[in-house]
Amino acid sequence: MTSRDRVLAAFERRKADRPATDLGCTAEVWDALKLHFGVETVNDVLDAMDIDMRWVDLPFIGPEERSVGTLCGEGTDFWGNKMAKAVNKYNTYYEIVYHPLANAETVEDIENHNWPSLDWWDYSAIPKQIEEINKKDERAIMFFAGGAFETPWYMRGFENFLVDLCENPEIVEAICSHVEKYYRERALKVIDVARGKIDIIGSGGDIGGQNGMIISPDIWRQRIKPFTGKLISTFKEMGLKTFYHSCGSLVPVINDLIEVGLDVLEPIQVTAAGMKPEELFPSFGKRLSFHGAIDEVGLLPHATAEEVYGETTRIIDILGQNGGFIVTPSHQVQGDTPVENIIAIYDAVKNYKYK
């Protein structure tokens, strides 16, 4: 069984030779893992740990003044959002400090925004990335398209956008329509240039908080679901696997996501209301696979490696009952997590025997 086969089995809720895996980290943690394994690139780290699921990225070739990645550096991103650095003793983060549509009052103002071009990306880089990823084993490849909730509020400002959902729905529709179309068409270009080597299209946007959804489920269904749904259903109908990211508790709309064609939900924030594996699997496990669930907040920074190993095994026992689970931390691993705790996750996977 190839590494790719293992991931596809998880998406289809079939048991493989072992659970499939993924891994995301902050830059500081990638540096620590490179040092630990004595390698130079993130892909080398993933190969050293035999991580199955891999993500490809598009290099930006657009205007220099719009070249900063969203929440990835100081400056302005391709949408026109501006970021500033925020640092703690473990990691460097970037926060949005300017929302380009904050003062828009009409749909015409939205239409007159300097929207990005699809030509601002180097699509020709994708085949070479995939070739590098597959040098050790055939991997399952995902391109993350984007999302039709977070990007719109980044551009409008969170408070403004929440007000718009109730009082200015035409503003919401105008922004979400532009964003969804852009992300969908960009992903279609990536799929085309990859020539059958993309397996999964991801999308997402945080709609959950610790105690419940951050917007009303009914408002989400009315205003956001049509756009979120199109970023899932378009690719499902093409025969690709689909993946959706939302932190927090989003139990009320999981059935909606399944309805529009979702295969895998990520990252399973186990400390949020209703998101414990033993609650999720009985309700959704026959119709949905899961990605994440190894707690990055309490467990990984504070437990021993032995405790991480044991908890990983316990979670696989629950979410992996039918094979529909990709093992990975519940978000990007942060800089306060010991390397040995990261390794313990994947040691547990390698030693796991399906019942």
pLDDT digits (tens, 9 = 90+) for 283-341: 999 999 999 999 999 999 999 999 999 999 999 999 999 999 999 999 999 999 999 99
The tokens 């070479």 sit on which residue?
128
DSSP 221: I
H-state helical runs in 239-331: 254-259, 277-284, 299-302, 305-319
H-state helical runs in 12-157: 27-37, 42-48, 107-111, 126-133, 150-156
Cis peptide before 169 (omega within 30 of 0): no
Q: Domains of the chain, with CATH numbers?
A: 3-350 (3.20.20.210)
Quick one: residue 226, left, alpha or beta (phi over 0 = left, psi -120 to 50 = alpha)? alpha
* Among candidate residues 89, 86, 6, 31, the one with its CA nearest the CA of residue 342: 31
Q: Rounded CA gap, 22 and 298, in Å? A: 20
**Residue 155 structure tokens:** 């551009």
Residues facing residue 204 across a β-bridge: 245
CB atoms within 10 A of CB 332: 16
The pTM of the full predicted model, rounded to 2 decimals, is: 0.97
Distances (CA, A) of 120 to 20, 113, 136, 152: 34, 17, 31, 19
- Residue percentage of the chain with pLDDT more than 90: 100
Per-residue pLDDT band at 355 (split at 50, 70, 90): confident
CB-CB contact of 66 with 116 (8 Å): yes
What are the pLDDT digits (tens) for 278-291? 999 999 999 999 99
